[in-house]
A and B are shown apart, each in its own frame.
Chain A
Amino acid sequence: MTHKRDVMIYTRYERFWHWSQAVLIFTLFFTGFGIHGTHDLLPFGLAVMIHQTAAIVLIGLWIFTTFWNFTTGQWRQYLFKKGILKIIRFYAYGILKGEPHPYKKSLQRKQNALQSLAYMTFMTVIGPALWATGIVYLLYNEWSHFDGAGEALGIVALLHTAAAFAMGTFVIIHIYMTTTGKTPLHYVKTMITGYDRIELSEVEEAYLAETKAAEMK
């Protein structure tokens, strides 16, 4: 016998992480495109100043979040899961026909296999590519005296820009995916309130009620 209950699956810190990261990424995206010359809405100096500040804050946030992920064991959420093809098939086809989602959210499995893979890529490939090239870029003057530094900066900038395009693509698809819940705003609400309606076994329900390991309505 299972019950559907409103359980806080995204803790306060997780939500703080998510939304501050979102604001910072949008800031970086906007100022970064300004620096790149895509738009002319900010003076170059101001764009650089905001971009640098936001980047340093985001790197700080990521360092702290990495610490949080490991101390809470939440990092396991991002490990590779089986069934990824089923998920891809669902989004490509099933969702259009109104099929149910092939994956059931649980406390131990907040993300489906595709999500896990996407977030893992975000955290281990796109993110590091951005901050690594960004830091090298920022510290240009520490290595500008080496031969070919002028051209090397171009390569660093190129990699940084490429990673930013990848990040932009991730963000566009990520935002679209938030509309694929029960209602178009369901996932966004979940990420704001932290609560989602998930199926709990009697044992789980009793455990949560007793220990308050996760808040439950």
Chain B
Amino acid sequence: MKNALYAVFFMALLTAPSISVASTADHSKFDQLNGPFSTAESVTKACLSCHTKSSAQVMDSLHWTWDTTHPVTGQALGKKRIINSFCGSPLSNEPRCTSCHAGYGWTDLRDSAPTDPTKVDCLVCHDTSGAYEKIPTDAGYPQLAPRMIGGKLVQPPDLSKIARSVGKSGRENCGACHFNGGGGDGVKHGDLDTSLINPPLDLDVHMSADGENMSCSQCHTFNDHIPSGSRYRTTAVDTHGLDLPHDDHDRATCESCHGGTPHQDAKLDDHTDRVACQTCHIPEFARGGVATKTWWDWSTGGRKDADGKPLYIKDEHGHLSYSAQKGDFKYEENVRPAYLWYNGLIEQTAVTDKLDSHMTDGILILNRIEGSATDGKSRIWPFKEMRGKQPYDPVNNTLVVNHVFGDDDSAFWTNFDYPKAIAYGMAYAGLPWSGTLDFIETRMYWPITHMVAPKEQALRCGACHTTDPGGRMATLSGFYLPGRDHALLLDILGYLMLGGSLVGVFLHGAVRILLRKRPSP
């Protein structure tokens, strides 16, 4: 009951900001924002004239530094250090990859992020007009002057108009980068794509206008411009529970609002210590009509057609199934997650890591999801399993930096020559390359936490509690799962005993009937 009251209180709290959108400041009335702005930095300067601390705060965040040390494992993390199973490393590919940096002009990731406060991009997160856009290849800059794009002269966005529109970040702001990770809509995460900008209720009960109409930051609470909710360090089990005002200011777990016992059913509540909410409540991801990439084989890249032109093949849904620049792809929609025990720790693969200890059955596990049925700190979580093949150095036994993007004679996307691209990438990163190149099959696991379905669509008990080898929990071990697990010997003995007694009584009965018919002597 107490929990229910908290929940009601919470919903009131959460919906409050969306009811009273108006702040005490109307940004369209500020003279400082009239412009005209000829540079992106001059907009930031105007913002800083009132919001004096904002750049300093942003520059402290992971959105800015792309650099952090894991507080538990001690592993140095950040985009320039680890390799993922999509484009690999942003090193040597900066002006393209840093288009999603929350600032302007980070052209060399070997250097730390810029320290000039005017390099912070306020608009990408706070534009509410929808008119602001970063150029995909300009290290985070928007278009500033008229430019020929695809044979058409395109005018730059009106920065002063955008500056006067600023407000709280909406789904579109965060989505500009997070929905398009991995090089396109929905490619990387599977549970984040443009279908969440205006999702129907059955896609996402929280973000749908027919549901709670929440924005990302209502869960991913920002404290001094630092977001909560991290894939590098997930709260896999939230023992804190309800997040109350003046409490921990981190509402990125379901429990923050729903508590630890949210069901009206004790048996369901009994599951919350071992099963993450997401496991039942996100039965499938990529449900919004946007497919996510599930296979990326770099090893086949570089093929040309009969005319010597780079080859591109589309599948029946219009997705690229082969690209000379990137190799073979597979896309999927309505994907059933993979399930793993997860205690919130993920060990990533650094570009400098030796690979031996990260191999499982000849496959490189790029990020090792830690946790087990018995460590008391884990729950069963859903993941998107990304599969693929990536270039590596079989002699040094490391992954390699693939230089894909750039206006030079080595970038793979324009020259289609792996040895050249790898040599360039490794030299750029200052890492040794033996000169030998091969491809290694990889897996990477992406925790699924968005696209929460209406409760009627949550998994039923039988999805896991089943002897069916296709059951959702079929591959998890180290614990007894009712309805799935059996002691084979007991079953054999038990059925033999039941069957034996049935046969026994039938035989006994048959003999009785036969002998009864015989007249007694």
Contacts and interface: CB of A to CB of B under 8 A. Distances in A.
B498 A145 contact: no
15 contacts: A35-B465, A35-B482, A44-B462, A44-B483, A97-B515, A144-B273, A145-B273, A150-B373, A151-B478, A153-B482, A162-B490, A165-B490, A168-B494, A169-B497, A172-B501
A44 B460 contact: yes
B483 A37 contact: yes
B467 interface: yes
Interface in B425-476: 460-462, 465-467
A204 to B, nearest CB: 32
Contacts of A37: 466-467, 483-484, 486
Contacts of A43: 460-462
A168 B483 contact: no
Contact of A36 (B374, B486, B497): B486
A165 B493 contact: yes
Contacts of B502: 172
A153 B480 contact: yes
A161 interface: yes
Contacts of A168: 494, 497-498
B480 A157 contact: yes
A96 interface: yes
A45 interface: yes
Contacts of B515: 96-98
Interface string A113-154: 000000000000000000000000000110011011011011
A48 interface: yes
Nearest to A95: B512
B51 interface: no
Contacts, number: 96
B2 interface: no
Interface of A: 35-37, 43-45, 48, 95-98, 140-141, 144-145, 147-148, 150-151, 153-154, 157-158, 161-162, 164-166, 168-169, 172-173, 176, 179-180
Contact of B270 (A98, A140, A172): A140
Contacts of A140: 270
Nearest to A154: B480
A19 to B, nearest CB: 21
A146 to B, nearest CB: 9
A96 B512 contact: yes
Contacts of A48: 267, 461
Contacts of B495: 165
Given A35-B482, A165-B497, A176-B509, A158 B487 contact: yes
B482 A151 contact: no
Contact of B466 (A44, A153, A157, A164): A44
Given A144-B274, A154-B485, A172-B505, A96 B376 contact: no
Contact of A45 (B374, B462, B493, B498): B462
Nearest to B372: A150
Contacts of A164: 494
A35 B484 CA distance: 9
Interface string B259-302: 00000000100100110000000000000000000000000000
Contacts of B274: 144
A37 B471 CA distance: 12
B345 to A, nearest CB: 20
A48 B483 CA distance: 10
B246 interface: no
B24 interface: no
B20 interface: no
A154 B462 CA distance: 18
Given A97-B515, A157-B485, 9 more contacts: A36-B483, A44-B465, A45-B462, A48-B267, A153-B479, A161-B490, A161-B491, A165-B497, A176-B508
A162 B374 contact: no
A190 B494 CA distance: 32
B231 interface: no
Give the most central of A37, A96, A176: most B CB within 10 Å. A37
A41 to B, nearest CB: 12
Q: Which 3 A-B pairs have the closest CB atoms?
A: A150-B479, A154-B480, A165-B494
B29 interface: no
A147 B511 contact: no
A47 to B, nearest CB: 9
B516 interface: yes
A169 B505 contact: no
B23 interface: no
A161 B487 contact: yes
Contact of A151 (B480, B497, B516, B520): B480
A95 to B, nearest CB: 6
Contacts of B501: 169, 172-173
Contacts of A141: 270, 273
Contact of A157 (B270, B478, B482, B494): B482
A214 to B, nearest CB: 32
A158 B490 CA distance: 8
Contact of A98 (B461, B480, B490, B520): B520
A44 B267 CA distance: 13
A37 B464 CA distance: 12
Contacts of A154: 479-480, 485, 487
Nearest to B518: A98
A150 B270 CA distance: 13
Contacts of B509: 176, 179
Contact of A145 (B376, B482, B494, B505): B376
A96 B516 CA distance: 7
A165 B502 CA distance: 13
Nearest to A153: B480
A150 B480 contact: yes
Contacts of A173: 501, 504-505
B505 A162 contact: no
A52 B501 CA distance: 27
B480 to A, nearest CB: 3
A150 B498 contact: no
Contacts of A150: 373-374, 478-480
Nearest to B271: A141
A95 B505 CA distance: 13
A115 to B, nearest CB: 16
Contacts of B493: 165
A92 B515 CA distance: 13
B75 to A, nearest CB: 28
A35 B483 contact: yes
Contacts of B267: 48
Contacts of B465: 35, 44
Contacts of B497: 165-166, 168-169
A151 to B, nearest CB: 6
